Amino acid sequence: MYTEAQAEYLLRLSDNINEGRLQKMVRAIVGANWGDEGKGKITDVLAQESDMVIRFQGGSNAGHTIVNNYGKFALHQLPSGVFCEHITNVIGNGVALSVENFIKEINSIVDRGVPKPHILVSDRAQIVMPYHILFDCYEEERLGGKSFGSTKSGIAPFYSDKFSKIGFQVNELYDDTDALKEKIARILEVKNAIIKNVYHKEPISADDMFSKLMEYKEILEPYVANTFDIVHDAAVSGKNILLEGQLGSLKDTDFGIYPMVTSSNTIAGYGAVGAGGIPPYEIKDIITVVKAYSSAVGAGEFVSEIFGEEADELRRRGGDGGEYGATTGRPRRMGWLDLVATRYGCKVQGATQVAFTVLDVLGYLDEIPVCVAYELDGERIDYFPSTTKLKRAKPILEVLPGWKCDIRGIKKYEELPENCRKYIEFAEKAVGVPFKLISNGPKREDIIYR
Ligand code: GDP
């Protein structure tokens, strides 16, 4: 728990959004849970006032759903600022760039009437190669019942290669083609040995790989820039910058439910690395998105998970038209709000304030269970343990009264039903960070500033 002095300090830090008017600073929007908290929506709401929106980690393996005046969109690779013409959108060096998804997404939003967005791709971003996707699929197939439940977007093989120093940075496409051919041949020698001997599949042709990279070179040409200096200049000249996170704290490679995590750091602190050009001390506001109940995709520890009809009903009513993965369409696993995991998730992010989302969904329940602590080997604990212990943790639930009405359309905090405010305040107290934004519907205007 936070002391009173700490709580006061956080309250002061979070006092920078006034009825949606943002003080100019570098601000991160990140998730406290397993992802799918509604970060896309919160980013879209706050993006309108921003000069720059930057994706700093992950790839097209997760999706943000955004509902605005152009319609409903699922973005996987593009920053959520693409709907506002005045925003510079940046794909930072920390991102796994799928060139095919990148261009497909630009075309798909432009085809639906969105003005052509302003997007820059860092010349230090690395490219998801076709063989990364193949390796992701082959490995999941090899693991069978022990698979990670990967979205098969090539993300784990991509980051493995990045840190093994055999990745392709975007700038390499515009360099000496002989050097590129030599590098492809060198890498494929090893990849093909694995493909042949471990996976028993067809080898990859170096010529095909080179042609693919030349295709990518042409596609990316209008977007590539030395974003490091552009971002740095914007940060130190006081522009409004949003760092947009993908997934959530519990999927972070270091702090999440390892090994059922993603292959990049999902935390705001990584924004200083993955966005490129942001001095760490400039990330002043860390809006951490917390979902009013829990959901998760893929395998991994999920202490407050629920099953059966109870879960089906929440899944059916959840999000905007049901809790199904934005990238894969898979039904999400469902659970009650886990305050142990959320408190930890907020600390991991360094949350300065919380955006509490999808609260409207809970309006059908007479009573709402929340997980307030865990039982571990017969003892009550209130910290989030490492994975080996987490596997044995059981939820300790408390039940709060429901509000039994539709809260969409409410604009003022005081107008929310009393039990709904009590639910928010109960969670806020347990998490220890001010809940300043309340999202009561999927649309841009469904937001309450507190
Ligand atoms: P993200 O990856 O964190 O952006 O989350 P997703 O887009 O995967 O999932 C959030 C889902 O909830 C989307 O379908 C959103 O349109 C929807 N959503 C976001 N905020 C709210 C809210 O306050 N109420 C409701 N009912 N749906 C919301």
**Res. 444 pLDDT band, cuts 50 70 90:** confident
In CATH, what number is assigned to the domain containing residue 108?
Answer: 3.90.170.10
Residue 345 CA to residue 410 CA, distance in Å, equals: 28
270 and 159 in a common domain: no
Which one of 320, 324, 356, 439 would you pick to mutate in the ligand 1 pocket, going by the greatest count of ligand atoms within 8 A of its CB? 320
Task: Kindly compute the dihedral angle of the four CA atoms of residues 374, 302, 96, 197, in this order, to the nearest 10 degrees.
Answer: 120
Which residue's CA is the closest to the ligand 1 atom numbered 18?
442
Of the ranges 42-46, 353-357, 443-447, the best mean pLDDT one: 353-357
State the catalytic residue, choosing from 15, 51, 64, 312: 64
Of 53-67, 151-165, 187-201, 350-364, which gets the smallest average pLDDT? 53-67
413 and 306 in a common domain: yes
Mean pLDDT of 45-58: 92
Sign of the torsion angle spanned by Cα atoms 154, 158, 160, 161: positive
pLDDT of residue 263: 94
Give the distance (Å) from ligand 1 centre to CA of residue 318.
9
Q: Evaluate if residue 261 carries a pLDDT over 60.
A: yes
391 and 277 in a common domain: yes
Could you list the residue range(s) of the whole structural domain that residue 131 is in? 126-219
Q: Which two tokens stand for residue 58?
A: 């992950």
Q: Annotated catalytic, 338?
A: no
Q: Evaluate if residue 327 carries a pLDDT over 80.
A: no
Q: Which residue has the higher pLDDT, 3 or 70?
A: 70
Q: Annotated catalytic, 36?
A: yes
131 and 114 in a common domain: no
Of 96-100, 164-168, 321-325, which gets the smallest average pLDDT? 321-325
Mean pLDDT of 46-64: 89
Q: How many domains does one find in the chain?
A: 2
Which one of 53, 65, 262 would you pick to mutate in the ligand 1 pocket, going by the greatest count of ligand atoms within 8 A of its CB? 65
pLDDT of residue 6: 66
Pocket of ligand 1 (CB under 6 A): 31, 35-41, 62-65, 67, 319-320, 326, 357-358, 360-361, 439-442, 446
Out of 199, 219, 239, a domain closes at 219
Q: Say if CB 326 and CB 336 are below 8 A apart.
A: no
Q: Say if CB 373 and CB 394 are below 8 A apart.
A: no
The whole-chain average pLDDT of the chain stands at 93
Tokens 């979205």 appear where? 151
**Confidence (pTM):** 0.93
Out of 166, 186, 219, a domain closes at 219
Give the distance (Å) from ligand 1 centre to CA of residue 443.
9
105 and 175 in a common domain: no
pLDDT of residue 28: 97
Mean pLDDT of 242-247: 94
Which residue's CA is the closest to the ligand 1 atom numbered 8?
36
**Res. 9 pLDDT band, cuts 50 70 90:** low
338 and 243 in a common domain: yes
Give the distance (Å) from ligand 1 centre to CA of residue 278.
28
Residue 141 CA to residue 138 CA, distance in Å, equals: 5
Which residue's CA is the closest to the ligand 1 atom numbered 28?
442
Q: Evaluate if residue 14 carries a pLDDT over 80.
A: no
Q: Evaluate if residue 427 carries a pLDDT over 60.
A: yes
pLDDT of residue 10: 66
Residue 1 CA to residue 45 CA, distance in Å, equals: 30
66 and 183 in a common domain: no
252 and 293 in a common domain: yes
Give the distance (Å) from ligand 1 centre to CA of residue 408.
14
pLDDT of residue 279: 94
Q: Evaluate if residue 3 carries a pLDDT over 90.
A: no
Out of 195, 219, 243, a domain closes at 219
State the catalytic residue, choosing from 36, 44, 136, 252: 36
Which residue's CA is the closest to the ligand 1 atom numbered 10?
38
238 and 184 in a common domain: no
Mean pLDDT of 219-241: 96
In CATH, what number is assigned to the domain containing residue 168?
Answer: 1.10.300.10
Give the distance (Å) from ligand 1 centre to CA of residue 39.
7
210 and 231 in a common domain: no
Of 59-68, 179-188, 317-326, 416-425, which gets the smallest average pLDDT? 59-68
Give the distance (Å) from ligand 1 centre to CA of residue 335.
16
152 and 295 in a common domain: no
449 and 375 in a common domain: yes
Residue 106 CA to residue 231 CA, distance in Å, equals: 22
Atom number, ligand 1, closest to the C-alpha of residue 63: 2
